[in-house]
């Protein structure tokens, strides 16, 4: 069976999931993610749902699924479109597209000849939904939208949705700003990128500031300056805010920076070299020295870019490698003949899929929220390359080439990306092996018989009881599972500020009450393929605290009836020195591990990660409270009215003291709103 590429993109004028274009009933779907952790994983992954290759499919289950598909085959559209396969609970198992839906569905309607993965999918199918489209390209785009929304278990999913950073040279101010930008490109100006990560942007921004002396401050900061800031003093800005440079001269710097970022770096450097020589001949040595430093900064930018192609102006390069049943995809970004960084993705997919099929699925979803360059270079031929090229061109509104180069500089770039992918995969395999050994050592240190698949670590953070948060960090055989991290805002009004025991009780009660509810909703007769790949139930819970917190954790699990989870309390000791921790575990007297025990170092890593995550979340809440205004709590006061009131009175305190008549005089504030504000501050 051929596998279509996956690409998620907004598709106008296509039938919605619940529109009459369906041949079956629309089904509800829910996000499979929960919690509010916002940590960015260093290793973005492409995941395939839980697929056990050695699991046999019961003949009765397969026969039932085939009958369902045969029944739906009678009503399947003849033309192009998208089909969805649903299980008994109405969850989407798989989303696919086809040139002819009926012919594609017919390939499932047989009881033999399927791979294990397809047989399991067919066996779980209880209903199907169809959507017809005008062309196969529209079906490709619609299919990706559904994959993005519904996260089907049997589709390959791109789980890293972070947008790439850009450099923005604004055009909405008399003195344009040079700044980092991530997200929707709706601000007026020129965007340069994408860069692989924020560090590449920071490095380039620093060099650009030295080379072109452009401001990076916000517009509000710019408008309120009465003297140049520190960046002007260290020659990172030309000081347009206080008139240290005229707008005309500053505009020339902006033009030079735009030309440089647009690929005209040689012309910019030659022009600066001519100016430097002219200044030196005129004995203006300070001017010549400044120009020399700017040329050196430009050289630093180009030198930091690594390999810069000679004939490829703009391209994204993708290379995929496979080893020990795992995949790595390396992505390089080339813009204006410069290398703007690279990023590695680690797929987890069915071993029956070829590297080309995984790359096909990856490419389609990768460009869901990213603009495609003029050229996309691939290390493997993909089945639907022509269709992908057409879809990217449709979205971009211009020609986009998707190529599988076999010679020349393009092939050299692909091979270089492949080399990096192999090295990254080798490092990951080594790290995974070391992590698995540490999990085994941890189980042995605490006398646990079964292997550890999921370890949860809990910590609290607050200052005198304010902005109190609890944090849960999760580790597995492959390392820290950052998509499973959770934070808990302490909500119980009965909790005394600063009471660590009560905070820990609230956090654990909320966490394991939810776990108990989830486990109660699971059908015990469901096949193993219907269960998550990474377990939601921990094998071990580590509590950052002494005997008191340990006893609280035991009581909570006992009250909730949660059994089979080992609990360990970690007390840091009187001097709080690492290496002298005391451990509390049920059935044993408190004990310490040997100072050089690998399990002890691993516990310290886990505890430090929980502490880091809790502190970071607490600081974010505290920072938010610092800028909070009493006006935020008044219904009907939005950003515009808040700005108008502050401009009229200066501070929230002055607003609270204002008379009703004075409030009514503020532009944009009517009598009813003025009365709301007046009454709020007077109880």
Last residue of a domain, one of 157, 186, 209: 157
If asked whether residues 409 and 387 sit together in one domain, one would say: yes
If asked whether residues 670 and 608 sit together in one domain, one would say: no
Flag whether 10 is in a domain: no
Provide the pLDDT confidence category of residue 302 given band limits of 50, 70 and 90.
low
Flag whether 39 is in a domain: no
Q: pLDDT tens-digit profile of 8-27?
A: 333 333 333 333 333 333 33
What's the rounded mean pLDDT across residues 646-665?
Answer: 80
Q: Where do the H-state alpha helices sit in 1-99?
A: 59-73
Counting the structural domains of the chain, the total is: 5
Flag whether 147 is in a domain: yes
Last residue of a domain, one of 381, 409, 427: 427
Flag whether 15 is in a domain: no
Highest-confidence segment of 302-316, 450-464, 616-630:
450-464
Question: Which pLDDT value is given to residue 578?
Answer: 61
If asked whether residues 172 and 199 sit together in one domain, one would say: yes
Flag whether 433 is in a domain: no
What CATH number is associated with residue 348? Answer: 3.30.420
Within 8 A by CB and 6+ apart from 406, the residues are: none
Q: pLDDT tens-digit profile of 35-59?
A: 333 333 334 444 444 344 345 566 7
If asked whether residues 510 and 568 sit together in one domain, one would say: yes
If asked whether residues 185 and 123 sit together in one domain, one would say: no
Two structure tokens written together for 6: 């996956």
If asked whether residues 60 and 175 sit together in one domain, one would say: no
Two structure tokens written together for 185: 């490109």
* N-term to C-term CA, the chain: 69
If asked whether residues 173 and 298 sit together in one domain, one would say: yes
Q: What is the span of the domain harbouring residue 335?
A: 315-427
Number of other residues whose CB lies within 10 A of the CB of residue 310:
7
Question: For the chain, what percent of residues have pLDDT higher than 90?
Answer: 8
Last residue of a domain, one of 157, 174, 198: 157
Flag whether 257 is in a domain: yes
Q: Is the pLDDT of residue 316 over 70?
A: yes
What CATH number is associated with residue 557? Answer: 3.30.420.340
What's the rounded mean pLDDT across residues 310-330?
Answer: 86
Flag whether 24 is in a domain: no
Number of other residues whose CB lies within 10 A of the CB of residue 545:
22
If asked whether residues 136 and 191 sit together in one domain, one would say: no
If asked whether residues 274 and 332 sit together in one domain, one would say: no
Q: Considering the entire predicted model, what is its pTM? A: 0.54
CA 378 – CA 361 distance, rounded (Å): 13
If asked whether residues 87 and 181 sit together in one domain, one would say: no
If asked whether residues 194 and 298 sit together in one domain, one would say: yes
What's the rounded mean pLDDT across residues 459-465?
Answer: 80
If asked whether residues 191 and 230 sit together in one domain, one would say: yes
- DSSP per residue over 276-292, as a string? HHHHHHTT-HHHHHHHH
| Residue 57 CA: distances (Å) to CA of 114, 282, 337 | 11, 86, 53
Are 532 and 34 in contact by the 8 Å Cβ rule? The answer is no
Flag whether 535 is in a domain: yes
What CATH number is associated with residue 674? Answer: 1.10.150.20
What CATH number is associated with residue 64? Answer: 3.40.1440.10
Two structure tokens written together for 676: 């709301």
CA 376 – CA 151 distance, rounded (Å): 26
What's the rounded mean pLDDT across residues 128-149?
Answer: 78
Are 191 and 207 in contact by the 8 Å Cβ rule? The answer is no
């Amino acid at each position: 069976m051929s596998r279509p590429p996956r690409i998620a993109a907004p598709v106008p004028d296509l039938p919605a999931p619940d529109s009459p274009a369906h041949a079956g009933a629309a089904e509800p779907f829910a996000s499979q993610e929960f919690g509010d952790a916002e940590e960015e994983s260093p290793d973005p992954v492409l995941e395939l749902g839980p697929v056990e290759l050695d699991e046999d499919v019961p003949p009765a289950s397969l026969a039932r699924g085939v009958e369902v598909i045969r029944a739906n085959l009678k009503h399947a559209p003849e033309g192009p479109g998208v089909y969805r396969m649903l299980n008994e609970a109405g969850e989407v198992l798989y989303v696919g597209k086809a040139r002819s839906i009926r012919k594609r569905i017919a390939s499932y309607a047989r009881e033999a000849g399927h791979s294990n993965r397809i047989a399991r999918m067919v066996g779980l199918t209880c209903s199907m939904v169809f959507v017809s489209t005008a062309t196969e390209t529209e079906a490709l785009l619609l299919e990706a939208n559904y994959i993005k929304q519904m996260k089907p278990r049997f589709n390959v999913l791109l789980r890293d949705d972070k947008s790439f950073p850009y450099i923005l040279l604004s055009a909405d101010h008399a003195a344009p700003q040079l700044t980092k930008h991530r997200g929707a490109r709706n601000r007026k100006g020129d965007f340069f990128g994408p860069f692989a990560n924020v560090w590449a942007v920071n490095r380039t921004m620093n060099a650009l500031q030295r080379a072109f002396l452009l401001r990076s401050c916000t517009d509000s900061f710019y408008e309120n300056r009465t003297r140049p800031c520190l960046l002007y003093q260290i020659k990172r800005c030309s000081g347009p805010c206080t008139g240290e440079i005229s707008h005309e001269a500053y505009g020339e710097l902006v033009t030079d920076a735009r030309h440089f970022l647009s690929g005209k770096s040689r012309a910019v450097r030659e022009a600066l070299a001519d100016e430097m020589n002219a200044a030196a001949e005129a004995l203006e040595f300070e001017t010549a020295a400044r120009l020399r430093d700017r040329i050196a900064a430009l050289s630093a930018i180009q030198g930091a870019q690594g390999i810069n192609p000679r004939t490829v102006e703009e391209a994204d390069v993708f290379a995929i490698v496979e080893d020990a049943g795992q995949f790595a995809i390396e992505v390089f970004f080339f813009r204006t003949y410069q290398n703007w960084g690279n990023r590695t993705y680690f797929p987890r997919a069915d071993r029956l899929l070829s590297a080309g099929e995984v790359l096909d699925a990856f490419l389609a979803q990768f460009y869901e929220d990213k603009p495609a360059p003029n050229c996309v270079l691939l290390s493997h031929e993909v089945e639907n390359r022509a269709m992908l090229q057409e879809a990217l061109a449709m979205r971009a509104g211009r020609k986009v080439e998707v190529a599988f180069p076999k010679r020349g500089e393009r092939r050299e770039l692909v091979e270089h990306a492949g080399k990096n992918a192999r090295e990254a995969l080798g490092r990951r395999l080594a790290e995974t092996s070391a992590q698995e050994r540490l999990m085994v050592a941890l189980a042995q240190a605490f006398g646990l018989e079964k292997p550890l698949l999921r370890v949860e670590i809990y910590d609290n953070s607050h200052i005198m009881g304010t902005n109190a948060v609890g944090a849960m960090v999760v580790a597995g055989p492959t390392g820290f599972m950052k998509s499973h991290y959770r934070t808990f805002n302490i909500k119980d009004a009965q909790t005394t500020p600063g009471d660590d025991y009560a905070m820990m009780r609230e956090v654990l009660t909320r966490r394991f009450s939810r776990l108990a509810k989830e486990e109660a909703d699971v059908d015990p007769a469901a096949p193993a393929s219907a269960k998550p790949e990474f377990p939601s139930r921990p094998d071990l819970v580590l509590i950052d605290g002494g005997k008191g917190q340990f006893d609280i954790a035991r009581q909570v699990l006992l009250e909730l009836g949660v059994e089979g989870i080992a609990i360990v309390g970690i007390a840091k000791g009187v001097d709080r020195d690492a290496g002298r921790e005391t451990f509390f575990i049920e059935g044993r007297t408190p004990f310490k591990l040997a100072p050089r025990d690998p399990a002890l170092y691993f516990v310290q890593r886990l505890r430090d990660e929980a502490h880091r995550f809790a502190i970071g979340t607490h600081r974010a809440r505290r920072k938010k409270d610092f800028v909070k205004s009493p006006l935020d709590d008044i219904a009907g006061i939005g950003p515009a009215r808040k700005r108008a009131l502050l401009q009229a009175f200066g501070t929230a305190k002055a607003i609270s003291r204002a008379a009703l008549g004075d409030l009514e005089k503020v532009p944009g504030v009517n009598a009813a709103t003025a009365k709301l504000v007046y009454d709020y501050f007077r109880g």
